[in-house]
Amino acid sequence: MTFGEQPAYLRVASDLREKIVNGSLPPHTRLPSQARIREEYGVSDTVALEARKVLMAEGLVEGRSGSGTYVRERPVPRRVARSGFRPPSGASPFRQEQAEEGARGTWESSSEQEAATPEVAGRLGIELGARVMRTRYVFRDAGEAMMLSTSWEPLEVTGRTPVMLPEEGPLGGCGVVERMAAIDIVVDNVVEEVGARPGLAEELLALGGVPGHVVMVVERTYYASGRAVETADVVVPADRYRIAYHLPVR
């Protein structure tokens, strides 16, 4: 294959994608049928079907049972703010950071003890099977689920302390920095790695996505003198949000 050549199904998908982007096929318009694509582009049924599959995988169209395939309305991405800003004691970092972007942040959470998996043990630098506190969050903006998070804290650090449960007690709802400071642990570094992958079925169900949609995953770990005291996976739908970093200049 020479440079610039594409399989027929990708050429068809590219042309239909352009029509969706430039408005020739506006949101809620029915996508041309497989037979019409075949006739218009002079391709086989297989090529027409594969082109439609590409657009569906990209989230540009959606199937409606008994009705056909339609162009999806494309959401305008909103920001999820991330920063090195430390809010006043007692304030939630999520609420503080989202307030700067005009979001009305609320969240639900649940905590449970479990044994560290190989991945969690590696990220926290603890033994496989060591006890950790796992906390799952659903963050909402004006009632709409916008972000999921699962965090793990080693109980050898927080066990039998007032901050063992992140969302309960005198510092419930405060950030990791403030909670650790309450037990004389000084958090001095945080590392975030951002990646993307197809969303898991349960994630997309919670976030209101459809199968095949991509999510961004922020893998975050807080450190105190080189020791990991909390690690978390933050999951955000890639088609609806952008992660915006506000980093202080030192």
Q: For residue range 139-168, what is the model confidence (pLDDT) as tens digits?
A: 888 788 889 999 999 999 999 999 999 999
Gap between the Cα atoms of 84 and 56, Å rounded: 38
For residue 178, pLDDT beyond 50: yes
Q: Could you tell me the domains of the chain?
A: 8-71 (1.10.10.10), 78-245 (3.40.1410.10)
Name the 3-class secondary structure at 188.
Answer: coil
For residue 87, pLDDT beyond 60: no
Name which residue leads in pLDDT, 28 or 98. 28
Nearest to 41 by CA among 60, 15, 62: 15
Output the pLDDT for position 99.
47
For residue 14, pLDDT beyond 80: yes
Query: What is the per-residue pLDDT across 27-83, written as a single tens digit (0 to 9) for each?
Result: 999 999 989 999 999 999 999 999 998 998 887 888 887 788 999 887 777 777 766
Gap between the Cα atoms of 217 and 197, Å rounded: 8
Query: What is the per-residue pLDDT across 211-250, written as a single tens digit (0 to 9) for each?
Result: 778 899 999 999 999 999 999 999 999 888 888 887 776 6
- Contact between 54 and 9 (Cβ < 8 Å): yes
For residue 196, pLDDT beyond 90: yes
Output the pLDDT for position 242.
85
For residue 209, pLDDT beyond 90: no
pLDDT confidence tier of residue 85, bands split at 50, 70 and 90: very low
Output the pLDDT for position 194.
93
For residue 133, pLDDT beyond 90: yes
Mean pLDDT of the chain: 85
Output the pLDDT for position 83.
63
Output the pLDDT for position 250.
63
Alpha helices in 2-137 (DSSP H): 8-21, 34-41, 45-57, 93-100, 118-124
pLDDT confidence tier of residue 173, bands split at 50, 70 and 90: confident
pTM over 0.75, yes/no = no
Length, in residues, of the chain: 250
